[in-house]
Amino acid sequence: MTFKKLVTATLVASVALTAIHAEELKGRGASFPGPVYKAWTAAYFAATGKKVNYTPTGSGDGIKSIKKRMVDFAGSDKPLKPEKLREAKLYMFPSVVGSIVLAYNIDGVKDGELKLSRAAIDAIFTGKAKFWDDAVITKENAGLKLPHEAITTCVRADKSGTTFNFTYFLNKINDAIKVSKKPTWKAAKVVAGKSNSGVSANIQQIKNSIGYIEYSYKIKLGLPAAQVENKEGKFINPTVKSFQDAAKYASWTADNDFYAVIGDPAGATSYPIVAATFILLPEEKTKTNKQVTAFMDWAYKNGDKAASDLGYVPLPASTKDEIRKYWEAKKIK
């Protein structure tokens, strides 16, 4: 190859790489859907050659990043109310439903053996119960030998949608607990970690600990998780079926940009700590918005199995159709 041809080939390759890079969508935010977004983006690239890069940094960072237009789209487990969306000039729609489990590290206590009543959960996260053999915990666990060891509570260090949804559940038990992305915890012994992966790592490493994490992190790491008492007084194991039973109670409408908090639903078989996660888009970015909705439309059509395999609940077909109508109305499809 002559030098001239080599230079020409190099320039063509450079232009091609630049074009590919320009088409790469960048998103960041909620770590709650991180595992399913990783599966979806990899499968989408394999199927279409189009790259979507999502970094699970936490819902608070996602909201801040999209407001500052630092990314093409953001993920948030905390839905924004319509007036907040208008103020920030954003669109919002749900992507998938997931769940929050109470994972623990207690010697001799296997997955699903620990039962946590609503009173026990309140006592642990407000510091009223300081040791594992506190009466409020042992009351429902007569067959377990719980140690007289201090409870270490693993929580999020960052502003988190997972925390928002968990405190939403706690607030249903004890209205003195405020719903927040980053509350001031009153538990006896608190260790904070960044993102769901950081909290999961702390639970893995610290004996006699408990923490709240998204279900897929429990599955990936093989962490034991508690049965949780729902509002009907039933102790429910975290399973895809119990999440599906809970998700049936979600009420969506495009009129308010699909704003909904599902936590603590009705139903005797419903797992009580479930949450939807959302995509945020900037109103003015029509071109990239259409690329994001093309990716999400592909995921809605092709990503249900991956979501279910990871322990998420895919949106019902009727909800997906409502979201597509929303995209059309906003001229982002």
What's the pLDDT at 17? 37
Q: What is the pTM of this model?
A: 0.86
Cα–Cα distance measured from residue 257 to residue 94, given in angstroms and rounded to the nearest whole number: 9
Confidence of residue 6 (pLDDT cuts 50, 70, 90): very low
Domain residue ranges of the chain, discontinuous segments joined by +: 3-98+249-263+277-329, 100-247
Nearest CA-CA partner of 134 in 155, 158, 108, 116: 116
Confidence of residue 23 (pLDDT cuts 50, 70, 90): confident
Cα–Cα distance measured from residue 247 to residue 271, given in angstroms and rounded to the nearest whole number: 9
**3-98+249-263+277-329 matches 100-247 in fold:** yes
Nearest CA-CA partner of 282 in 76, 91, 44: 91
140: left (phi over 0), alpha (psi -120 to 50) or beta: alpha
Range list of H helices, the chain: 3-23, 34-48, 59-67, 82-88, 118-126, 135-138, 161-173, 195-205, 215-221, 240-247, 286-302, 304-309, 317-329
What's the pLDDT at 221? 95
Q: What is the mean pLDDT of the chain?
A: 92
| Token pair belonging to 68 | 């500052």
Classify domain 100-247 at the CATH class level. Answer: alpha beta
What is the homologous superfamily of the domain 3-98+249-263+277-329 according to CATH?
Periplasmic binding protein-like II (3.40.190.10)
What's the pLDDT at 18? 35
Cα–Cα distance measured from residue 31 to residue 163, given in angstroms and rounded to the nearest whole number: 11
